[in-house]
């Protein structure tokens, strides 16, 4: 049986013990094994494969105060496990799983997600489309 530990204090490294051959199966085979047979080993292999990326995404979305990243990861996996049979393969499994992370982050921290907006320009800075006083600008040039 695969024992999986996820330790966020070690920058989200995944530690696995007793890995038994499932690491070579593709995601679809592992999903089928989990959904159809309830295979804990298949679920653990999916977790080992995708949790680091999901955790990293949660940390980036939550920003510098990302103490909730562990909880986000756990909630995302709980939801994904319940809906795994609905995965149709129209995107990669990784993309589908990261969607759960984004949604959980939005629910837990509305308005707190990292915004990737350009820094605001000071209001006194000249813009390229501001009109200029050509006579004054010429007068200010050194001789």
pLDDT in tens, 77-135: 999 999 999 999 999 999 999 999 999 998 887 766 655 444 444 455 555 555 667 77
Average pLDDT score over residue span 31-59: 95
Neighbours of 22 (CB within 10 A): 19
Residues 130 and 89: beta-carbon distance below 8 Å: no
Helix (H, G, I), strand (E, B) or coil at 5: strand
pLDDT over 70 percentage in the chain: 64
Residues 81 and 28: beta-carbon distance below 8 Å: no
Question: Of 35-49, 58-72, 123-137, which gets the smallest average pLDDT?
Answer: 123-137
Vertex 105 angle, CA 39 and 9, to 5°: 70
Q: What's residue 96's pLDDT?
A: 96
């Amino acid at each position: 049986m695969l024992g999986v530990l996820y330790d966020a204090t070690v920058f989200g490294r995944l530690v696995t013990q007793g890995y038994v051959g499932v690491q070579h199966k593709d995601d679809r085979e592992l999903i089928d094994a989990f959904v159809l047979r309830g295979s804990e080993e298949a679920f653990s292999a999916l977790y080992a494969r995708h949790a680091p990326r999901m955790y990293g995404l949660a940390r980036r979305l939550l920003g510098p105060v990302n103490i909730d990243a562990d909880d986000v990861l756990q909630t995302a996996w709980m939801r994904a496990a319940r809906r795994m049979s609905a995965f149709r393969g129209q995107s990669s499994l990784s993309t589908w799983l990261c969607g759960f992370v984004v949604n959980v982050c939005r629910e837990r921290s509305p308005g707190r997600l990292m915004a990737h907006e350009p820094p605001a320009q000071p209001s006194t800075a000249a813009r390229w489309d501001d009109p200029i006083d050509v006579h004054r600008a010429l007068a200010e040039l050194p001789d």
